């Protein structure tokens, strides 16, 4: 197994991409800590992991609140004694808008979770990883960071910031054998897409059209496919990979060149 005896924190692990990663890691022998504010869904995901015979723990945590993040990490250390892997997956989306329609409150809320939350979680786990001289940090960015499909300035800015943070941390932490990389998912149907669904449109038909319009592979992806990339970056298969990014988008943004 690729993650035997490893301990991973997965933020936003209750559902969607985070849940896919949590289940994949558990299948590979990892003990998984899920942090989220979706209490019931997180508990169900933990139950699925426990049924696989792996250790799992749910800790409610708002990643934009520094004290909560520090206490969450302290709980993980008390239970497992170490943190090998951090997957910064927690995030919120939003309805695409012109810059003129984005309020200051909307800007602050999204960046506090999608960007500040990554900073706070990294800052909390890095001392423990440095002490062990081992660590894997996987930051969830987005295709929107490099090729926004629609105007969505606060989301795109936050996810671009995650890329910049990834590069900076990779440089700082490389001497400590800590690898820091990013994943850029493309169109992956999750609950984050719900505000974008046109009324009266069948969800499967909608995503079929989305896949044809944004991905050269002519389909949308799955959380399990993102989880495969996360597994590579979290395992020792990527022991000499840091400061890099993996696009999981069925060939996007190459679609722009095909039109």
CATH code where residue 58 lies: 3.40.50.720
What confidence tier does 258 reach under pLDDT thresholds 50, 70, 90? low
pLDDT at residue 193, as a whole number: 76
85 lies in some domain? yes
CB atoms under 10 Å from CB of 108, counted, come to 13
- How many domains is the chain partitioned into structurally? 1
How does DSSP assign 235-256, residue by residue? SGGGTT--S-EEEESTTTTTHH
pLDDT at residue 203, as a whole number: 80
- Cα angle value 215/238/35 (rounded, 5°): 75
Instruction: Name 40's Cβ contacts closer than 8 Å, sequence gap at least 6.
Output: none
Runs of H (alpha helix) within 81-186: 104-111, 117-132, 153-173
What confidence tier does 92 reach under pLDDT thresholds 50, 70, 90? very high
pLDDT digits 0-9 by tens, 51-88: 989 999 999 999 999 999 999 999 999 999 999 999 99
Q: What angle in degrees, to the nearest 10, is found between the helix axes of 153-173 and 117-132? A: 10
Instruction: Name 70's Cβ contacts closer than 8 Å, sequence gap at least 6.
Output: 124
- The reported pTM is 0.95
2 lies in some domain? no
User: Quick one: how far is CA 27 from the chain centroid?
Assistant: 18
Tally the C-alpha atoms within 13 A of residue 229's C-alpha that lie toward its C-beta.
24
pLDDT at residue 256, as a whole number: 61
Q: Is the peptide bond before 253 cis (omega within 30 degrees of 0)?
A: yes
75 lies in some domain? yes
**Mean pLDDT on 12-21:** 97
Mean of per-residue pLDDT scores for the chain: 94
Domain, as residue range, for 150: 7-258
1 lies in some domain? no
The residues facing 110 across adjacent strands are none
133 lies in some domain? yes
188 lies in some domain? yes
pLDDT digits 0-9 by tens, 111-133: 999 999 999 999 999 999 999 99
Q: Which residues belong to the active site?
A: 155
pLDDT digits 0-9 by tens, 18-54: 999 999 999 999 999 999 999 999 999 999 999 989 9
Instruction: Name 133's Cβ contacts closer than 8 Å, sequence gap at least 6.
Output: 176, 177, 178
pLDDT digits 0-9 by tens, 229-247: 999 999 999 999 999 999 9
């Amino acid at each position: 197994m690729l993650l035997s005896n490893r301990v991973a924190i997965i933020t936003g692990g209750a559902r969607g991409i985070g849940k896919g990663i949590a289940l994949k890691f558990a299948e590979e022998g990892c003990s998984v800590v899920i942090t989220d504010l979706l209490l019931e869904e997180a508990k169900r995901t933990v139950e699925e992991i426990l049924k696989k015979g792996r250790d799992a723990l749910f800790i409610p945590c708002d990643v934009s609140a520094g004290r909560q993040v520090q206490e969450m990490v302290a709980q993980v250390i008390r239970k497992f004694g170490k943190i090998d892997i951090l997957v910064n997956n927690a995030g919120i989306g939003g309805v695409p808008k012109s810059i003129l329609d984005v309020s200051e409150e909307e800007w602050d809320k999204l960046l506090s979770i999608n960007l500040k939350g990554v900073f706070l979680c990294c800052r909390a786990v890095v001392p423990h990883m440095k002490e062990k001289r081992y660590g894997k940090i996987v930051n969830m960015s987005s295709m929107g960071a490099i090729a926004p499909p629609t105007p969505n300035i606060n989301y795109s800015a936050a996810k671009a910031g995650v890329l910049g943070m990834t590069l900076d941390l990779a440089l700082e932490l490389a001497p400590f054998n800590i690898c820091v990389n990013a994943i850029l998912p493309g169109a992956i149907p999750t609950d984050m897409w719900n505000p974008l669904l046109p009324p009266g449109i069948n969800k499967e038909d909608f995503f079929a059209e989305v896949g044809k319009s944004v991905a050269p592979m002519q389909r949308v992806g799955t959380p399990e496919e993102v989880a495969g990339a996360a597994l590579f970056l979290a395992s020792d298969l990527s022991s000499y990979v840091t400061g890099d990014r993996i696009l999981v988008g069925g060939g996007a943004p190459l679609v722009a060149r095909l039109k």
